[in-house]
Structure 1
């Protein structure tokens, strides 16, 4: 009898009260489903996320087994539940009793082992000793279905790791990180001429592999069944493509920044790889590496893409071949994604050092996404280099839209942040933004409104006499995230770009109905009494937790004098000297 059994014999009075409550009448099948749902909660918690031990599913299961005899019987008769709750962070007690009891309750069921292997080889913690036992006991190792751990310490010389060289007949998920170890495990053990292979070259059920710190052969037999992989950082681009050739069933592919690919430039003949099941690509690397993978990988047409280049780059790594490859192949991914999924919300950021395009549409699953975030700042101080890459990307996306006008026609909400001041690029911006004719809600800021005014004022074509088409013909709501702080202390007679923009829309016969300032905050608003002339415009603000609305032209312009009403940050008194004033 364990301590919990002894405790149960003393709860008869409490159990009588429990038996009278509605919860005691829950159907046993439903109760089992609830306990299994608790297990699934554990499975959704990422390794790097801290969760208080009292909120861990293992703690919930243990406490549930102490509620009453029927609950306890049901849980103790469900070894698969306990087998999936081997969370190491919850098992670091000095005494071995609970670890041994938990392992006993699992009987011979599959094991899910997750959490942090703390301590080190020299100073092992109780949980590290327990984890080593699981690896060294063949009966336990062969039962492990899921292994998701972070191994602390710098020494991997323990012979216990050799267990990974033995067959893993039931292993399905293998995710292991050695954050403090520089050289991969088995670096000098596994080689083309060695008979030693990771998992003894036998892991027939393995589906997910995330193990940057472990060496393995790229022709391992278990690769053919993989559905998800995070590419080891030591691999070069040709080696990555070679690896992909061995994974025809791959569904998710993750590439992180690595020194092996940072300074790589395309060279030689590389294979084109058909990956018909691949629906998720996450690429975080240099532009040259990412463009090469986009060129040589042919995923499913439903594939989601998140492409992020590492910050800044050396000019020599953005060759004409790299740009040619990007221009030819990125549109394929854009076309496939937006032909498959209807998008209603897009986010655009154009800074002097970044180009960011993202689909923010509400989806029923987080596995559907499209993001391109490319840092355009070169390692030189020449702003012209940034402009070349930004203009290039603008043209790529604008051409995609022009080739298929319906591609973004369903977008009704646009989040726009423009802080790119080169006026020679305005035609490219205009072409890009013209791709969103159905936008009704524009979320932006006053800095961006300055650029929008410039786009609206583009001169007519001297040869044809035509003006560019009006942007956002169906725009109804202008939502500002902040007002330009440089205008905060100016008199309300200085409207900035806000009034000209609203007037331009009104004069074009497409007036904006609502100016939403609720995200600005009452303490950052300034006097905008000048908006009184835009009759019919509704201005929404937030005073504390109270929403306020004012219709411009109603004869109460004081409602738009936010700075004056707040009674602070008043403009400085006029200078008596000869300095420049506002008149």
Structure 2
């Protein structure tokens, strides 16, 4: 191994500095092995030690705060010496014991910080806030900036929500910044040059909707947008007819949460443009919460939301769609896992007059879909018929999972309309009422045989075996070509 060139060793040591792809949690308290690995590698032999001690770029990436929590001051000073003038990655949760060490580095070497992803739950303590003053200085190397504080919601009931006082951030100079997450309101005025190159931005506890839209208009490269509504006051003053209309052709992710003021969310959804007609959207992740049922114009809400459903399904056709309702909320979700969450989850409020129109709009937005798996968990009601146009549009479904009290009316529908021509598997989720559920299912399965579209699998493994009668087991056994997974088979 002594014959290997130094560049190979350096590349190997740098691989050790890479973090997991998972995003830093809001707590950021978990330690990892990277700093220990570098220290042990420096003790293998004299060659490795010399190489590592000459590689400040390795040590500069290893400032993960939990790894320094239970170490001696002497070891911390060794680490501080070894980072030299390298680019710095500083991550994790700041604690009282690590604060003096980490903030001494931040104050002295802020110009070298490349990634800063930290949680500081004491941020607004008077003696702590002043130590963050380096945020007003230029950040020539900064690429990732994520700052969280977990102040309890009860705090905001008694005190005005604080605004980070440092303005302008980074002295308006952070030319390499790509990811910006700040879970605190902050002062900014346009133009803000460092926003122009952002790929990911978070507006949390947002206060000024028109200013946010104007800022988005200056982010042509934006790929990820996370917006949390203000808890205390509206982002927009009524309708505001002169809003900017940001064009975000590269947007891949929209996540919206905590909108206590419905009009705020609606105006944002209406104002942002993704791509012109005829061009394919790039949207791959969509999370839109429900609008409170007290909002008077549900038709407007549904138009705004279905525009985004259409953008999502045209860019990323879902293969696994989930429909569930808890009156009066309908939830549509694409069940693929993307970075630990659904790729799409949209909540919509319905009233008796709105179901049919909105389902028709959703059907139009799904016209590019190739859904193969459908999960249905809908409370049975007189409004169930409204979903028929949607079911009729899903021609590619091969596996159907049905839950709760929707069983009987659902199978009446799919029998009447000959839905899901490619269906081969039905999974019936837990239900104790065998005498109510199984007969219409058996009738449907027999009709599928008669029409030349038999099913291959009926999965009853989630049923309670005590409620599944022997008579119905025999009736199922007589259906040609059908394999039935019974409760007693579930452990096999």
TM-fit CA distance, 1:150: 0.6
Within 2, Cα distance between the matches of 1:230 and 1:366?
A: 17
Matches within 5 A, 1:480-495: 480=428, 482-487=429-434, 495=438
TM-fit CA distance, 1:116: 0.7
1:114 to 83, 91, 111: 91
TM-fit CA distance, 1:495: 3.5
TM-fit CA distance, 1:370: 4.7
TM-score when normalising by structure 1: 0.72
Within 1, Cα distance between the matches of 2:413 and 2:122?
A: 57
How many pairs does the alignment contain? 472
Within 2, Cα distance between the matches of 1:238 and 1:263?
A: 7
Within 1, Cα distance between the matches of 2:141 and 2:52?
A: 24
TM-fit CA distance, 1:347: 2.3
Report SS of the residue matched to 1:371.
Answer: strand
Report SS of the residue matched to 2:268.
Answer: helix
**Contact 1:94–1:126, Cα closer than 8 Å, also in 2:** no
Within 1, Cα distance between the matches of 2:310 and 2:83?
A: 50
TM-score when normalising by structure 2: 0.84
TM-fit CA distance, 1:514: 1.0
Residue 35 (structure 1) aligns with = 13
**Contact 1:288–1:318, Cα closer than 8 Å, also in 2:** no
Residue 177 (structure 2) aligns with = 206
TM-fit CA distance, 1:513: 1.4
Report SS of the residue matched to 1:126.
Answer: coil
**Cα–Cα, structure 1 residues 186 and 430, in superposed 2: closer, same or farther, change >3 Å?**
closer
**Contact 1:148–1:176, Cα closer than 8 Å, also in 2:** yes
Residue 278 (structure 2) aligns with = none
Matches within 5 A, 1:88-103: 88-93=65-70, 95-103=72-80
TM-fit CA distance, 1:352: 2.0
TM-fit CA distance, 1:524: 7.5
**Contact 2:324–2:378, Cα closer than 8 Å, also in 1:** yes
Residue 113 (structure 2) aligns with = 144
RMSD between superposed Cα atoms in Å: 3.4
Residue 506 (structure 1) aligns with = 449
Residue 441 (structure 1) aligns with = 399
Within 1, Cα distance between the matches of 2:321 and 2:175?
A: 42
TM-fit CA distance, 1:442: 1.5
**Contact 2:28–2:118, Cα closer than 8 Å, also in 1:** no
Residue 87 (structure 1) aligns with = 64
Residue 46 (structure 1) aligns with = 24
1:455 to 396, 409, 413: 413
TM-fit CA distance, 1:89: 1.0
Within 2, Cα distance between the matches of 1:37 and 1:523?
A: 53
Matches within 5 A, 1:477-556: 477-480=425-428, 482-487=429-434, 495=438, 497-518=440-461, 520=462, 526-527=468-469, 528-529=472-473, 530-541=475-486, 543=488, 547=492
Within 2, Cα distance between the matches of 1:75 and 1:524?
A: 66
Within 1, Cα distance between the matches of 2:121 and 2:433?
A: 49
2:283 to 272, 278, 303: 303
Within 2, Cα distance between the matches of 1:525 and 1:74?
A: 70
Within 2, Cα distance between the matches of 1:134 and 1:257?
A: 34
Within 2, Cα distance between the matches of 1:165 and 1:494?
A: 66
Within 2, Cα distance between the matches of 1:74 and 1:112?
A: 20
Within 1, Cα distance between the matches of 2:57 and 2:41?
A: 16
Residue 574 (structure 1) aligns with = none
Residue 218 (structure 2) aligns with = 246
**Cα–Cα, structure 1 residues 357 and 33, in superposed 2: closer, same or farther, change >3 Å?**
farther
Matches within 5 A, 1:314-393: 314-315=293-294, 317-319=295-297, 323-324=299-300, 326-327=302-303, 329-361=304-336, 370-376=343-349, 386-393=351-358
Within 1, Cα distance between the matches of 2:4 and 2:376?
A: 52
Within 2, Cα distance between the matches of 1:473 and 1:336?
A: 27
Residue 431 (structure 1) aligns with = 389
**Contact 1:290–1:307, Cα closer than 8 Å, also in 2:** no
Residue 137 (structure 2) aligns with = 166
**Contact 1:254–1:282, Cα closer than 8 Å, also in 2:** yes
TM-fit CA distance, 1:250: 1.8
**Structure 2 residue 44 is matched with structure 1 residue 63:** no
TM-fit CA distance, 1:387: 4.0
Within 1, Cα distance between the matches of 2:49 and 2:325?
A: 59
**Cα–Cα, structure 1 residues 442 and 509, in superposed 2: closer, same or farther, change >3 Å?**
same
**Contact 1:184–1:215, Cα closer than 8 Å, also in 2:** no
TM-fit CA distance, 1:88: 0.7
Within 1, Cα distance between the matches of 2:21 and 2:34?
A: 10
**Cα–Cα, structure 1 residues 289 and 155, in superposed 2: closer, same or farther, change >3 Å?**
closer
Q: Which fold has the larger relative contact order, with Cα–Cα distance below 8 Å and residues 6 or more apart in sequence?
A: 2
Report SS of the residue matched to 1:539.
Answer: strand
TM-fit CA distance, 1:525: 6.9
Which ranges in structure 1 are unaligned for 5 or more consecutive residues?
Answer: 1-18, 119-124, 191-195, 377-384, 459-468, 548-583
TM-fit CA distance, 1:535: 3.1
Report SS of the residue matched to 2:59.
Answer: helix
Within 2, Cα distance between the matches of 1:440 and 1:33?
A: 47
Which ranges in structure 2 are unaligned for 5 or more consecutive residues?
Answer: 276-280
**Contact 1:42–1:85, Cα closer than 8 Å, also in 2:** no
**Contact 1:449–1:501, Cα closer than 8 Å, also in 2:** no
Report SS of the residue matched to 1:41.
Answer: coil
Within 2, Cα distance between the matches of 1:29 and 1:525?
A: 68
What does the per-residue CA deviation read over 1:341-360, in whole Å, with 9 as the maximum and x for residues that have no partner? 44433222233243222334
**Cα–Cα, structure 1 residues 250 and 218, in superposed 2: closer, same or farther, change >3 Å?**
farther
Within 1, Cα distance between the matches of 2:413 and 2:193?
A: 57
Within 2, Cα distance between the matches of 1:291 and 1:513?
A: 45
Report SS of the residue matched to 1:431.
Answer: helix
